[in-house]
Amino acid sequence: QLQLQESGPRLVKPSETLSLTCTVSGGSISSSSHYWGWIRQPPGKGLEWIGYIHYRGSTYYNPSLKSRVTISVDTSKNQVSLKLSSVTAADTAVYYCVRHAFSNGYEWVDYWSQGTLVTVSS
Amino acid sequence: DIQMTQSPSSLSASVGDRVTIICRASQNIGSYLNWYQQKPGKAPKLLIYVASSLQSGVPSRFSGSGSGTDFTLTISSLQPEDFATYYCQQSYSTLPYTFGQGTKLEIQ
């Protein structure tokens, strides 16, 4: 069974960079038919798609976050990482590591991590 | 961005009821529509993809329909474990992939 587990600081200061790593177990991140990405959810609010990456390196980001986001992959460690720079309190959220599945041009999120709350505060 | 609007935002129902949640897209998205269920403190779970395909392991009382701009998620006979928040998501080619604001289904 595929499992995704995030790690990284849970408290980040304003203006600094949020960094999270997701370790994938029970399957390979080097899959042609999957993208690996991040979705976040501010406390008590809805879901926001951040972006994703293919193991070959193609990346796609939410235009509203594109100037601050970097998603990368380390196939040797079966990990995907998120960096979000210049954070503010508005970036406080539960961050989910996710897998996107693709078929016949359609895509959906079929696996989610348990989620980790990252708080931006001094 | 493509805006996704769900109705109602909240809904009270009883075990055994048939429930329908509506999701409307701000432009034609074909069948690029997925549904997720989220319980408090948990990650969302995929229920329906490509508008009407049931994810493996999801009970058959869940069904999805629609195309273009109007979509529905139907639960044919509510069970106690179905009380949760439901989100639709569009995965049309235009980024970002946006979600509806959610529909909270509560016990009446």
Q: Are A79 and A23 in contact (CB under 8 A)?
A: yes
- Of B74, B73, B91, the closest CA to residue B31 belongs to B91
Percentage above 70 pLDDT, chain B: 100
**Tokens 């998205």 identify what position?**
B29
Phi and psi angles of residue B54, each rounded to the nearest 5 degrees, phi first: -80, 125
Give the C-alpha separation, A31 to A47, whole Å: 25
Name the closest residue on chain B to residue A114, using Cα atoms: B43
- Say whether B43 and A110 touch across the interface (CB within 8 A): no
Taking residues A83-96, report their average pLDDT: 98
Kindly indicate the confidence band of residue B107, based on its pLDDT and cuts at 50, 70 and 90.
Answer: confident
Q: What is the pLDDT of residue A51?
A: 96
Kindly indicate the confidence band of residue B95, based on its pLDDT and cuts at 50, 70 and 90.
Answer: confident
Of B43, B95, B96, the CB nearest to A112: B43
Kindly indicate the confidence band of residue B55, based on its pLDDT and cuts at 50, 70 and 90.
Answer: very high
Task: Tell me, yes or no, if B102 comes closer than 8 A to chain A by beta carbon.
Answer: yes
Name the closest residue on chain A to residue B5, using Cα atoms: A46
Element (H, E) at A111: strand A106-112
Phi and psi angles of residue A5, each rounded to the nearest 5 degrees, phi first: -135, 125
Does the pLDDT of residue B30 top 80, yes or no?
yes
Mean pLDDT rounded to a whole number for chain A: 96
Mean pLDDT rounded to a whole number for chain B: 96
Could you say which DSSP state residue B55 is in?
Answer: P
Taking residues B6-19, report their average pLDDT: 97
String of DSSP letters for A45-102 = S--EEEEEE-TTS-EEE-TTTTTTEEEEEETTTTEEEEEE-S--GGG-EEEEEEEEEE
Give the C-alpha separation, A58 to B30, whole Å: 25
pLDDT in tens, A52-84: 999 998 999 999 999 999 999 999 999 999 999
Give the C-alpha separation, B59 to B25, whole Å: 26
Task: Tell me, yes or no, if A46 comes closer than 8 A to chain B by beta carbon.
Answer: yes
- Say whether B50 and A109 touch across the interface (CB within 8 A): no
Does the pLDDT of residue B93 top 90, yes or no?
no
Percentage above 70 pLDDT, chain A: 100
Give the C-alpha separation, B34 to B4, whole Å: 11
Name the closest residue on chain A to residue B34, using Cα atoms: A108
- Say whether B55 and A110 touch across the interface (CB within 8 A): yes
Chain A partners of B100 at a C-beta cutoff of 8 Å? 46
Token pair listed for A38: 């991040």
Name the closest residue on chain A to residue B97, using Cα atoms: A49
Does the pLDDT of residue B43 top 80, yes or no?
yes
Give the C-alpha separation, B103 to B105, whole Å: 6
Q: Are B2 and A62 in contact (CB under 8 A)?
A: no
Could you say which DSSP state residue B6 is in?
Answer: E
- Say whether B43 and A48 touch across the interface (CB within 8 A): no
Taking residues B50-74, report their average pLDDT: 98
> Which residues are within 8 A (CB) of B81 and not within 5 positions of it... i.e. 6 or more apart?
none
Does the pLDDT of residue A23 top 90, yes or no?
yes
Q: What is the pLDDT of residue B64?
A: 98
Q: What is the pLDDT of residue B94?
A: 72
